[in-house]
Structure 1
């Protein structure tokens, strides 16, 4: 892992609590779709965030950072980005990046801002015209937390399906509702032949792994950086 400097080019609100951050590395950076970087606030304070863009674009790094006022972890990161024209990143890191050695169908599963992780993988698969079926499930508490829905719905084709799932929908919501893990389980009677890439709160990732293994998923076919911090059987 290396340290490198980036210019802060843009900070754009995606929702009331989520910001898109566009950084321009001063040197070209290579990474794998699904990896993360660490924002260096100080020598002893480095905060990881998934890289949201495809590695096919080496000129920019996109982050999607939730920054609710009560969440000091992310709000401090956003304050650092707003107060500095140049920031230091460490990485890339992570062992849950896109595997190119398999043509198995793929399920991408994200909770909340875990979407940035699966977004990088989905954009890469779409850009490279890979032909295995890809299903992107995005679980959210309500519609206010959703962003870029129209953009991702427009990307759908015979190989790629985008399925947002709202846990507490309003009466106007016309899409899937409930728990995103339950939505996957309802759509696939067996997960034996699938690869699954997952990001979100550790509790959600753990529940997903347990449920998907019971639905036939092979242990070595689910990828999540959260696994590095969890006791797995």
Structure 2
């Protein structure tokens, strides 16, 4: 599942970004890309790999009521995309029953919604998700989504991805309604073996990049530790 901001929903190692207040530091050694080829996780390991309250800044909360996210998902399912092909690109390579996937979400003190998805794929689909993001941005740099509430224009562009995992990609999205920006999002995908780690951060403005960098680094380190 790829980014639709208003409806939210590389080789080598890198030093860990500095920890932020309330966040657990990530040792640099855990970020070195070594021995992760072919990594797979079972359901318990995927759950253990998800970001926990101790991994995020102090004051962030985890929403208990999922009715809003369910409603947003239903709206997106029934929405009309123009061009229509952008719906297929946005939902390409979604997990199947043969894959193990889990997610978590947080609300930041600035009212950003942060979603993490960790999927252990049964085949090479993990690396295909990188190609899917490239195809999504190339094929749909601008498109409209009309649901039961509003018509939004989405704008997509790739941004430099983190030097983590075997492959990575990042994109920026913003949605406009009536010519005004309604929401902005960052999405980062990192591949570790057969596991994909996706972080999506959506809000009225973009989340602080230092926070995003630390979230991604922590998420990747937890996936490696879980395996």
TM class by smaller structure? under 0.3
Calculate the TM-score normalised by the size of structure 2: 0.27
Calculate the TM-score normalised by the size of structure 1: 0.26
Larger RCO (CA under 8 A, 6+ residues apart): 2
